[in-house]
Amino acid sequence: MTRRLLELLLMVSAGAAWGLVRSSAMGAVLGAMLGAGVWLVIDGLRARRMLDWLNRADVSETPRLSGIWQELFERCLKTIKKLEKRARSSDVRLTNFLAAIQASPNGVVLLDATGQIEWVNLTAATHLGLDAQRDVGQYIQNLVRAPAFTSYLSGDDFRAEIQISPVGSRPLQPSKISLQIHPYGSKRKLMLTRDVTALELAEAMRRDFVANVSHEIRTPLTVLSGFIETLQTLPLEAADQMKYLGLMNQQAQRMQTLVSDLLTLSRLEGSPVPGQGEWLSSEALLSQALSETRALSKVIAVPPHHIVWLPGPGFEIAGSKSELLSAMSNLLSNAVRYTPGGGTVRTGWRRRQDGWAEFFVEDTGPGISAEHLPRLTERFYRVDHSRSRETGGTGLGLAIVKHVAQRHGGQISIQSSLGKGSTFSIAMPPTRVRQLKQSEQPAEISHGN
C-alpha cells in the first residue's frame, strides 16, 4: 500500500514540478493532476492485465505486474492452486467411489428429482438394456417401459421391490430383474437392480419337482386304496385275494423305489464330493453291477438278453463305491429294461487316448430321437412313459447317473438314434484313474450271457 502511495506521490510531484518549471503555480496544479492521471492510467492497465489473467485462468502464465497487483496475483495464484489440489483429490475420491459402485454385482441407477438418469453402472445398464453413457440425462420411464415399473415409479410406495422382465435383445440381458427404489436427498432416487433369473428358474424347478413327486406318489396310492376298498367290500375267493395283494405289493414296491431314488438324489446333492481316498477296481465294480443286471434281465425279458462284457485294460477308479455302482447299475438296468428280450447289451471299461476312463453300455434297443437327448438327465423326464412304468422306472435314474459323474469330476454322454440302439457312457478324469501294473491285470475272460 505504501509503495502504491509513494508511486502516486512521485507521479503527482513529478507532474507538479514539470508544471512549475514550464509555467506558474497554476501549471504546477495542472502538472500534478496530469501526474495523477498518468498514474491512474498505468494502474488501470495493471488492473486490466490482472483481470485478463483471471479470465484466462491459466496458472502457467505470469502477467507483467508490480506492487499491489503483483501481490494480488500471487495470492490469487496460491488460492487457485489450493482449490485445484482440493478438486483433484475430490475427483480421485469420486472416481474411486464410482469404480466401487461399478464393481458391485448389483445394478445402480441414480435419478434426479425429475426422473432423469444422472449415472448408471454397467450392471444396471445390462439389466435394463440401457447405454451407460448415451442414456445419461434421459427419463428412465422412457427407457424402461415395463408397465409394472411405470406404475411403481409413478407411485410413492417404494417399501417393496418389484420384478420385471425386460424386453430387450441385448446379449447377456437377464430375463428376470428384481428392482427397488430408495428415495434420498431432495426427491432424488437410488434404484437398485438384481438379476433373479437363476432364482426364478430354481423356484420354477422346485415347483415342478414337488408337482412331479406328488404325481408319481399319487398314482400308486390311488391304485392301492382302490384295491383296499375292493378287499374290504367284496367277498373274494382266496385266489383273487392273493392276486389283488400281489398287485398291491407291486404298487408299494413302486413307491418304495421312488422314495429310495429320491433319497439317493438328495444324498448326492447334500453330501461332500467323494475324495480320492478309495481306489476301486473297474472290473470288480462291473462284475458286481452285472450280476444284478443279469438277474433283472431274467425276470423281465423272454428270452433274456445277450449281455456281453468286453474286458478292457485293468485300472482303478478313485471315488465312492456305492455311488459308482449305483450309476453303473442304472445304465445297465436301463439298457435291459428298454431293449426287447433277446437283444444284446455290450458293456465294459475302456481307456481313452486323452487319459480319461470310460464306462460304456451299448444296447440294440429302440434308440432315442435327437430332440429328447438334451433333456434325458432331467428329473422325471421320460421318452417312453409306459415302458418306464411297466419296468419299475422312476424317471430319476439318469439324473442320479449325471450327479454321480459330476461329483467325480466326470461326464455322462449319450449317443443314440431311433431304431439303432443307444450308447450311454460315464467318463472319469485322469486324476481319478490309476492303471494297474501288468502283474495286477485281471485274467482274460469273456463274459457273455
Query: Of 223 and 373, which CB lies nearer to ligand ADP in the complex structure?
Result: 373
CB of 428 to ligand ADP, least distance (A): 20
CB of 394 to ligand ADP, least distance (A): 5
C-alpha distance from residue 7 to each of 32, 33, 72, 306 (Å): 13, 14, 17, 123
Which residue matches cell numbers 410406495? Answer: 157
Query: Of 286 and 399, which CB lies nearer to ligand ADP in the complex structure?
Result: 399
- CA–CA gap between residue 390 and residue 398 (Å, rounded): 17
- CA–CA gap between residue 279 and residue 277 (Å, rounded): 7
Query: Of 4 and 387, which CB lies nearer to ligand ADP in the complex structure?
Result: 387
The residue type at 360: F
Contact criterion met (CB below 8 Å) for 396 and 382: no
CB of 221 to ligand ADP, least distance (A): 19
Query: Of 136 and 310, which CB lies nearer to ligand ADP in the complex structure?
Result: 310
CB of 262 to ligand ADP, least distance (A): 12
List Cβ neighbours of 365 (8 Å cut-off, separation of 6 or more).
Answer: 335, 338, 339, 340, 343, 421, 422
Question: How large is the angle between the packed helices 197-233 and 238-270, nearest 10 degrees?
Answer: 160
CB of 368 to ligand ADP, least distance (A): 5
C-alpha distance from residue 26 to each of 23, 105, 250, 373 (Å): 8, 87, 139, 118
350, β-bridge pairs: 358
CB of 332 to ligand ADP, least distance (A): 9
Q: Where are the alpha helices (DSSP H) in 277-396?
A: 282-300, 321-338, 385-390
Contact criterion met (CB below 8 Å) for 67 and 4: yes
Query: Of 28 and 401, which CB lies nearer to ligand ADP in the complex structure?
Result: 401
Contact criterion met (CB below 8 Å) for 191 and 127: no
Query: Of 251 and 334, which CB lies nearer to ligand ADP in the complex structure?
Result: 334
C-alpha distance from residue 205 to each of 65, 236, 341 (Å): 80, 45, 36
CB of 336 to ligand ADP, least distance (A): 9
CB of 398 to ligand ADP, least distance (A): 3
Binding site for ligand ADP (CB under 6 A): 330, 334-335, 338, 363, 365-366, 368, 376, 381-384, 388, 393-399, 422
Query: Of 389 and 447, which CB lies nearer to ligand ADP in the complex structure?
Result: 389
Which residue matches cell numbers 465312492? Answer: 320
- Sheet with 315-318, side-by-side order of all strands: 279-281, 315-318, 433-435
111, β-bridge pairs: 117, 189
Query: Of 126 and 333, which CB lies nearer to ligand ADP in the complex structure?
Result: 333
